[in-house]
Chains A and B, each alone.
Chain A
Amino acid sequence: MTTPLLASTRRVFELTLGQMLWARRTTLLALAAAAPVLLALVTRLTLSAGSAVVQINGRQIGSEAVFNTAMTLLYLRFIVPAIGVFYGTSLIADEVEDRTITYLFVRPIPRGAIVLGKYLAYVLCVTAVVVPSAAVVFVVMVPFPDMAPLFGSFVRGLGVLALGLAAYGAVFLWAGTLFRRPLVGGLVFVFGWEQLAAVLPGYVGRLTIAHYLQADTISVAVLLAATVAALWLAMRTIERREYLLER
């Protein structure tokens, strides 16, 4: 008898959370989360001092617009995909590369639990850092009287961030079960293909995750479907694949 999927998933989840705290990538995550906050603070202080104004095409723009721009350009186009690639690809591939996956494979658990446990730890870890970071940027950038009317779209924006982290993480976790070194391919996908597809005419843009995270084309259903499909494929791959650990 194997340990049930949920119980096994919980154990792998706990183990992975501990590992993530010590991973080198955590430094990257902390930097990624801190950079927009610092940027927001600098912008806020500059605007308050009246020494400069943010202008686009000669028009002065408000702090709300600056916040929205930060959400789109910094978080959705850079931080979320970058974290998805760096963390997602590492979840399984690093264990294979480090040859520690053996210790998980020789336990009476469904291999799929390794995928699920690691994925849930990833989602919790990165969401717990990125979402508060965006919240702080909001508080810093948007004047207090403007917060109430913008609160709905702010919460929606945080939800989109969480969905993006979930979708990118799942897709690149799957890549990590397939390839020994998936990081380069992942970077090419998010910073090459996704950027290129965004400017190509027609339906090509729909073959990206970024397309479904944009305000005008957002689709929660597609993002959730992509996440579930990628997780299912990752579980199926790890159940069936032999991992030859190089010396």
Chain B
Amino acid sequence: MIVSTDHLSKWYGQVSGLNDVTIAVPRGVTGLLGPNGAGKSTFMKLVTGQLRPSAGTLRVFDEPIWGNPSQYRRLGFCPEQDAFYEHMTGRDWVQALAGLHGMDDAAAAAAATRALATVDLLDVADRKIGGYSKGMRQRVKLAQAMVHDPELLVLDEPLSGMDPLMRRRTIRLIRQWADGGKSVIVSSHVLHEIEAMTATIVLMHNGRIVAEGDVHQIRALIDAHPHRVSIRAADPRALAKRLLVDDDVSSFRFEGDALLVETGNPDSFYSRLTEIAASGDAGSIEEVTSPDDNLQAVFSYLVKQ
């Protein structure tokens, strides 16, 4: 097991962030699925040694991680927050962080180039991060997490804000990473994203693990609830026209430059959306996000069971 916890809890004062979690995370890709506030980020911060457990034990590679920085040689972390040294170029930033792994300048430069190539950012590597799009910022975060070629990648909502094409590429990248014998723990509040990366999922809700195991068992529950997607596009009306051709869209409305879509068949919908984005027929698609209230409904249902 790559990560194991025993009755792990984390409290922020009187507020519980994680509650009595016992889990063994196997090698390979494991998806953490849950709505905002479920405890995914708290779990990831504990696994990456940024928080100290309030109770219980946590072992990563069979060693504690809090106060044990040597573990970071084997672990890479891509945080959720959109925070950067904006004035630095992507290359300088990733290289500087590689240098903190004990690499000399030449090795750090080579590692940074490799990582930036892996996330398809080499062409803009010498531009300042402050000028990057949301998708580029997500990818440069991924690059800094993989720059030292860790055995375990911990990715907190890595697909958030990416356009459909970049989502597809990033999902492929994560799968390839795992195919190389490495492990990934990835969080999302969108089932189909997790499902595209792995069948091993952990469902979290209110700081607890509600279920763990194979993704297919909860598919039916998720599909029973309409799925809402927000798409920021250059031409939302043209996009709406294209999307309405098929019957997987049950309703839509405009909100500024965003199109809010409700679909009963997320798989078909996302597949079509990726094709439309690739063709460019409906103008550029800048960002796709999925509010988690649909997932929240499923979790409420699960908890009631």
Contacts and interface: CB of A to CB of B under 8 A. Distances in A.
Nearest to A245: B81
Contacts of A102: 50, 77, 79, 81, 83
A111 B76 CA distance: 17
Given A3-B102, A22-B87, A107 B97 contact: yes
B135 to A, nearest CB: 19
Contact of B83 (A100, A110, A111): A100
B144 interface: yes
B49 interface: yes
B100 A109 contact: yes
A12 interface: yes
B181 interface: no
Given A99-B83, A242-B51, A106 B99 contact: no
Interface centre among A12, A15, A104, by most chain B C-beta atoms within 10 angstroms, is A15
Interface stretch (B64-72, B202-210, B290-298): B64-72
Nearest to A117: B100
A1 B70 contact: yes
A244 B100 contact: no
A19 interface: yes
A247 interface: yes
A48 B102 CA distance: 58
Contact of A11 (B51, B77, B84, B99): B99
A99 B77 CA distance: 14
Assign chain A's interface to a size class: 20 to 34
B12 to A, nearest CB: 7
B96 A15 contact: yes
B29 interface: no
B78 to A, nearest CB: 10
B144 A103 contact: yes
Interface string B68-98: 0111110111010101110110001000110
A100 B84 contact: yes
A239 B83 contact: no
A244 B72 contact: no
A234 to B, nearest CB: 17
Interface string A220-243: 000000000000000000011011
A1 B63 CA distance: 13
Given A106-B50, A245-B81, A18 B88 contact: yes
B259 to A, nearest CB: 26
A2 interface: yes
Contact of B77 (A106, A108, A111): A106
B101 interface: yes
A103 B48 CA distance: 11
Interface in A1-44: 1-4, 7-8, 11-12, 14-15, 18-19, 22
Interface of B: 12, 48-52, 67, 69-73, 75-77, 79, 81, 83-85, 87-88, 92, 96-97, 99-102, 144
Given A3-B101, A22-B87, A245-B81, 4 more contacts: A3-B102, A99-B81, A102-B50, A108-B70
Q: List 5 A-B pairs, minimum CB-CB distance, nearest first.
A: A107-B100, A22-B87, A99-B83, A3-B102, A108-B72
